[in-house]
Amino acid sequence: MENSESSTQNTVETQNARNKNSTKPTSALYAFREGEWVFWEFRLALIDKMEAGRIIQVSTGHIEASSSDFTDRCFPLEKKIKQISDSFDYYSSTLHREFRAINFPYIHQWFVKKWVEACRCRDDDETLKLRLEELREFYQKTREAVMAARVGGVNIFR
């Protein structure tokens, strides 16, 4: 049994080293279970249902969502993931609160895509720093673009 555990640990370490800079989601290396808490789309969520190793239903306490596979958008409860998630949640929520009329579904997709990229590189401080700077820049440029929107000399947004 000890050899089996050692072999499994070596396999996971090898996979982590091999996939450190790959585009394969880091979350795919984790064996999630129903009833487990995870970060999903930068929010804390409970895995409600799994099928064939895929996360197909999650809930946050406010919403319940289903998909053929959420696994690529779920990450384990880790301090670094929490810090990354808090940053993305702050900027996303702030934009949504300030400018309700913007195209938020597409903006949310951008946030989720960049959050996944940031979570995947969480152990590479330089790359993570670049991802978080990209987040701040996107927020600032979006805010500036919305504030500059004018028609006939009238600001469209407040």
Predicted pLDDT at 29: 60
Q: At 30, is the pLDDT very low, low, confident or very high (cuts 50, 70, 90)? A: confident
The values of phi and psi at residue 15, to 5°, are: -65, -45
Percent of the chain clearing pLDDT 70 (strictly above): 80
Dihedral sign for Cα atoms in the order 145, 147, 152, 156? positive
Predicted pLDDT at 11: 34
56-75 average pLDDT score: 95
108-113 average pLDDT score: 96
CA 114 – CA 98 distance, rounded (Å): 21
Model confidence pLDDT, tens digit, residues 35-62:
999 999 999 999 999 999 999 999 999 9
**Least confident interval from 19-28, 48-57, 126-135:** 19-28
Structure tokens at 108: 């949310």
